[in-house]
Amino acid sequence: MKNLKLKSARAALDLSQQALAEAVGVSRQTINAIEKGDYNPTIRLCIAICRVLGKTLDELFWEE
């Protein structure tokens, strides 16, 4: 399932996939795969992404 919440939170801060990837220590391809729903990130990576984007785990990764 695509993670549109992550993509919109990243875009709201005017961050590229590359900039977010560098901030959390992964490749741009990893961020792209998470947004496309092709990769299920570790909890550690989820938390790092949330910290950079100023969001909670629920806001970015909880599926209704």
Q: How far is CA 28 from CA 17, 18, 64, in A?
A: 6, 5, 27
CA 17-23-28 angle, 5° bins: 30
pLDDT of residue 64: 76
This prediction's pTM: 0.93
pLDDT of residue 4: 95
What average pLDDT does range 39-46 have in this prediction?
Answer: 97
Distance separating alpha carbons of residues 38 and 14, to the nearest angstrom: 23
Type of residue numbered 58: D
**Domains of the chain and CATH, by start:** 4-61 (1.10.260.40)
pLDDT of residue 25: 98
